[in-house]
Structure 1
Amino acid sequence: MSKLRLVHCLLFFTAICILLPPIAARGGHSDYIHPGDGNSSFHGIARHLFAQEEPRPSLELTRGYMTNDDLEKAMKDFTKRCSKISRLYSIGKSVNGFPLWVIEISDRPGEIEAEPAFKYIGNVHGDEPVGRELLLRLANWICDNYKKDPLAQMIVENVHLHILPSLNPDGFSVRKRNNANNVDLNRDFPDQFFPMNEDLALRQPETRAIMTWLRNTRFTASATLHGGALVANFPWDGTEDRRKYYYGCPDDETFRFLARIYSKSHRNMSLSQEFKEGITNGASWYPIYGGMQDWNYIHGGCFELTLEISDNKWPRAAELPTIWDYNRKSMLNLVASLVKTGVHGRIFSLDQGKPLPGLVVVQGINYTVKAHQAYVDYHRLLAPGQKYEVTASSPGYKPRTTSIYLGDNAVTADFILIPEASSRGKLLRSNCDCSCKNCGQPLLAQFFPETNNGITLTLVVVVVFLCFLLQRRVRYNLWKQKQSSRRSITV
């Protein structure tokens, strides 16, 4: 009887293994996850399901790739060699305590500017190491060429580029997909459809590091580098009913535009027979849940792509120069798109001339972009070739809307918001700091009934306002010169 029970148990577990959906990387494999109803028992099951992996590559195949220590040394050497345009910092540590090193590249690294920021992340899965190699090559190429290549110069002078070559150094060291806790980091983020990763206590240190990073740094766009296919993947990654079909996010057109920038700049990605134009909607390919891409867009205000850059997850090191050559222009063009297209600008108050931390929305797109708290600059990526109704708002001020036709170049649109009038007809007082005499006095304390005083006051207001505009233009003259190809308007 005991032998019969043993046979039944073996048959039962065999059946379970056959019926469970295969779990693979975001690559050329089926990865359809069938989440449960969000109850606590499913949380643990899901994390164990995600732990299934492909066989580890042989040790011989890893020869020629940088070890974690090699990568750390190379990044430190890079920031010494290119100290004028870079800095090195860590956003946290892996499960086993290895620092998650980041290189920032900018003409003013470490400073906050009215410029967009972009991040590249590699090696999310430990057995997909090509990204970490390419990202260090990207950093070195920019360092070697930013004084002589216009594209590299544009990136250094107009973007803050952050490069995290390895999010999963522990998985890389043992040639396995998951981290040291056997969790897939690209299934560990809070999900919009299923609350299977809402328990903060269970979230991995690498995941928490990314989430904290986005709270501290405002990124306009980003991309993660994966392996196992050749395609540019964009949101949404999952669907509400867990089925496989095209499910676009509010900025679907913009994401398709960004994905095509990468694909068409690539040597052969856009020629794919499997993916039209070399791009794909994630849910249309195969749904996943708890992914980094969707979380970035929803919670980080960051437009992220998932880039599959090599059909082979772990190609021989001798192939890396060719893969780099195929991807170099794509990687550069994607970063440069932050300043070459879209609508950019700042928000100010009319009464005080001060920057306002407002919001920017586009009619017909259910997505809000926040202006930076310090410099109140906003960067709204949009697909070109269309007319957009753009509205800026801030509490206590009347919203302003302008129509913008976005062509091949970026548009700079600065908004000047009018304060809401009080019930007694008075406007807010001005505290602007400009070089004009008496500019610090109230612009309009009350409406004078006398005609002469009214005319005089109107002239004073006009002069002060022109003074404010002139001062602001001079102050940001350099910023405008950097983006001289943009069409500028003030609303």
Structure 2
Amino acid sequence: MEVNGVVLNMWVRDKLKIVNVICVMFVFGFEFAVYAESAIPNRYVVEVEFKTTADLEWLEDNGFSVDSVEGNKARVYIPVDALGLLEERGMYPTIVGYDPMPLEKTPPGYHNYAELTSALQQLANDYTSLCRLMSLGQSVQGREIWALRITDNPDIEEDEPEFKYISTIHGDEPVGTELCYLFAKLLLENYETDPRIKFIVDEVSVWIVPLMNPDGREAVSRYNANGYDLNRSFPRYPEELNAFYYDGGYPYLEGRQPEVYHIMRWSMDHNFSLSANFHTGSLVVNYPYDDDGGPSGVEAPTPDDALMKWIATQYAIHNPSMYSSSQFPGGITNGAAWYVVKGGMQDWNYRFLGCIEMTIELFNTKFPSGTFIPSIWNSNRESMLSYLECVLRGVRGLVYDRNTGEPIWAKILVKDNAQPVFSHPRVGNYHRLLLPGEYDLVCVKEGYIPYRIFGVVVEDGLATRRDVPLSNGDVNNDGVVSEEDVDLVVNGALGLESESITDVDGNGVSASDIQAVLNVIEGRDIGLFP
């Protein structure tokens, strides 16, 4: 009887699975014939119950995209032939949708690719003094990945922080595209009349990429036209993500999906300090790390954990539904504590470029009716402004060669914090986001004496400015570092020379300056923090 019972249970389960598939096909109008013509492979969207977080990692390791987790339930995108694999694992899937979504089932009230292109071009034409529209490159199917730059001098790279909003890396999550467009309109249309917005546009280089996955958006699919989940397609930690770009980290651009390649190349060419990418399917601000090698459900804090929680809260606190979440206290979560994502965009930005990026889930429904857009915009408008304004906090300045005045691409470190930031290679400006407090910083560049910026007080407001005139030890600017330079620094310590000339390490003229120049002559390393 026990054997027969097992056989009967298996028979019943198989029949239920068939009924489930038939029901879903009925709901979606028997669309498999339409899907077969798409370049994007057919997939089910399923809900599963998992026993342990090891099941979540098994899903990701097998190429299935975990989309959301609540309690012991996960929503997952799987190939249509993978139902049996999940059942063998003991996770019995309930089919809740298809990918791609049938086009006639797509809710109205959204820009498609052509309409978005026209709308962005209109903004660029109407506000020529404030914005530029450019393509970062083309998608698999040849659609442009548009980027809108909004700032007071859009043709000039200035001493100002760079910020970016990116949306719809998953093509079936277009709410963020609409919010990015509305946000661009908000900045441009209110520049002349709203002092707050004018200050943002004057002081920040704002970049908006409203549609990273245009092919997926047109097909109403999570994936790009090659069938890749783009938010699993960035370099992975630790095998491909183990050093900063500045420190010689290999970018691993080759073999990337076109959309990922263009975003990576563009980000590497700039110096973004803060970023966010928009999704739907939940309601939360997700901050790094998404993956530090540990399991799902366990916090994976960065060196900037307290800062990230504060920045995430600046978004969530202005969105009442998000902030009052019963699943996520305060409307925020550490990425890995929710579920591990490997090959995601936000960790790549932080680990490779030093840019803080967060993943913002805007609405519990993946693709709601367009009639919800005005209310979603009202819930997120202040959040988007407040989050952006965080880029203006901390410590900022210019790094330059004290003899030539030329900008320098350098690394800025904070004492007792392993995470660096970097100055802009063409402008020399750096922007280190920090919470209010007192900090010791040091700026380093090969071939130059480390410059110490000690006792910097960061207020609860705009960034404290500390410029960095780096010296290679050539105090008299004769082209060589020699005993004559040592003599000048000695005289400076004795009060016989100008302090501005002989303070080569930023810590006031002292014996440390003499030792620093001697170390340059003798080829010895110079300590960063005493």
TM-score range, shorter chain: 0.7 to 0.9
Secondary structure, aligned partner of 1:262 = helix
Matched, 1:267 2:320: yes
Residue among 431, 435, 440 paired with 1:389: 440
Q: 1:70 to 1:430 in 2, by over 3 A?
A: farther
2:415: which partner in 1?
363
Larger RCO (CA under 8 A, 6+ residues apart):
1
Verify the 8 A CA contact 1:228 1:308 in the aligned structure 2.
yes
Q: Quick one: distance in 1 between partners of 2:391 and 2:500?
A: 36
Amino acid at match of 1:338: V
Would the aligned equivalents of 2:67 and 2:76 in 1 still touch at CA under 8 Å? no
Distance 1:27 1:224, change over 3 A: farther
Match of 1:98 among 130, 143, 152: 143
Distance 1:307 1:343 in 2: 25
- Residue 372 of structure 2 aligns to a residue whose secondary structure is helix
Match of 2:432 among 363, 380, 397: 380
CA shift for structure 1 position 186:
0.3
Equivalent-residue separation in structure 2 for 1:293 and 1:376 (angstroms):
24
Q: In the alignment, what sits opposite 1:476?
A: none
Q: Which residue of 1 aligns with 2:67?
A: 25
Q: Is the 8 A contact 2:355 2:421 kept in 1?
A: no
Q: In structure 1, what is the equivalent of residue 460 of structure 2? A: 408
Contact kept in structure 2, 1:352 and 1:430, CA below 8 Å: no
CA–CA distance in structure 2, aligned partners of residues 462 and 342 of structure 1: 27
Q: Distance in 2 between matches of 1:168 and 1:380?
A: 30
CA 1:327 to 1:419, structure 2 compared with 1: closer, same or farther past 3 Å? same
How much does 1:459 deviate? 7.5
Cα distance in 1 for partners of 2:368, 2:288 equals: 27
**Amino acid in the other structure paired with 2:331:** G
Q: Does 1:344 align with 2:396?
A: yes
Cα deviation, 1:271-319, whole Å, max 9, x if unaligned, reads 1111111100000001110100100111122110100011111111111
Which shifted more, 21-30 or 107-116? 21-30
CA 31–412 in structure 1, closer or farther in 2 if over 3 Å, else same:
farther
SS in structure 1 opposite 2:317? helix
How far apart are the structure 2 equivalents of 1:275 and 1:326? 17
The correspondence for 1:87, drawn from 127, 132, 143, is 132
Tell me what 1:316 maps to.
Answer: 369
1:177 corresponds in structure 2 to: 222
Separation in 1, partners of 2:96, 2:232:
14
Shift of 1:82: 1.1
The one-letter code matched in structure 1 to 2:477 is R
Any idea what the Cα deviations from partners look like across 1:180-209, whole Å, max 9, x if unmatched? 11110000011113569x975542110111
Q: 1:445 to 1:250 in 2, by over 3 A?
A: closer
* Aligned residue identity for 1:408: D
The answer to whether the 8 Å contact 1:232/1:262 transfers is yes
Q: Per the alignment, do residues 124 and 53 of structure 1 end up closer, same or farther by CA in structure 2, a change over 3 Å counting? A: farther
The equivalences for 1:135-284 within 5 A come to: 135-193=180-238, 202-284=255-337
Aligned equivalents of 2:297, 2:76: Cα separation in 1 = 8
Match of 1:68 in 2: 113
> Deviations along 1:308-344, whole A, 9 cap, x unmatched?
01111111111101100110011111112111x1111
Tell me, yes or no, if the aligned pair for 1:32 and 1:286 is still in contact at 8 Å.
Answer: no
TM-score using structure 1 length: 0.76
Whether contact under 8 Å (1:27, 1:228) holds in the other structure is no
Tell whether the 8 Å contact from 2:270 to 2:424 is kept in structure 1 after alignment: no
| Contact 1:24–1:53, Cα closer than 8 Å, also in 2 | no
% identical aligned pairs: 33
C-alpha distance in structure 2 between counterparts of 1:24 and 1:53, whole Å: 14
Query: Counterpart of 1:393 in structure 2: which amino acid?
Result: V
CA pair 462-222 structure 1, distance change in 2 beyond 3 A: closer
- Supply the distance in 2 between the matched residues of 1:77 and 1:273 (Cα, whole angstroms): 41
Task: Report what 2:178 is aligned to.
Answer: 133
Tell me, in whole angstroms, the C-alpha distance in 1 between the residues paired with 2:76 and 2:157. 41
The residue matched to 1:74 in structure 2 has which SS?
A: helix
SS of the equivalent of 2:140 reads: coil
Match of 2:83 in 1: none
Q: 1:351 to 1:167 in 2, by over 3 A?
A: closer
1:27–1:308 contact (8 Å) kept in structure 2: no
- Cα RMSD (Å): 3.5
1:187 touches 1:288 (CA, 8 Å); kept in 2? yes
Quote the residue 2:387 is aligned against.
334
Q: Which amino acid aligns with 1:342?
A: G
- Cα offset for 1:264? 1.0
Of the candidates 319, 325, 343, which is equivalent to residue 290 of structure 1? 343
- Change over 3 Å in CA distance of 1:284–1:462 after alignment to 2: closer
Unaligned runs of 5+ in 2: 1-9, 18-45, 49-54, 78-94, 242-250, 503-530
Alpha-carbon separation, structure 1, partners of 2:183 and 2:368:
19
More displaced stretch, 65-74 vs 251-260: 251-260
Could you tell me whether the CA contact under 8 Å between 2:444 and 2:451 is conserved in 1?
A: yes
The separation in 1 between residues aligned to 2:485 and 2:439, in whole angstroms, is 37
Shift of 1:212: 0.7
User: 1:263 & 1:302 partners in 2: Cα distance?
Assistant: 20
Call closer, same or farther: CA 1:93–1:353 in 2, change over 3 Å: closer
- State how many pairs are aligned: 416
State the shift of 1:74 in Å: 0.4
Change in CA separation of 1:354 and 1:156 when aligned onto 2, cut-off 3 Å = same
Instruction: In structure 1, list runs of 5 or more residues that go unmatched.
Output: 1-6, 34-51, 422-426, 432-443, 449-453, 466-491
1:436-455 mapped onto 2 (5 Å cutoff): 447=487
Report if aligned partners of 2:397, 2:430 keep a CA contact under 8 Å in 1.
Answer: yes
Per-residue deviation, residues 374-403 of structure 1 (Å, max 9, x unmatched): 22111001123x322211223332431312
Q: Partner of 1:141: helix, strand, or coil? A: helix
Amino acid at match of 1:335: L
Contact 1:246 1:283 in 2 (8 A): yes
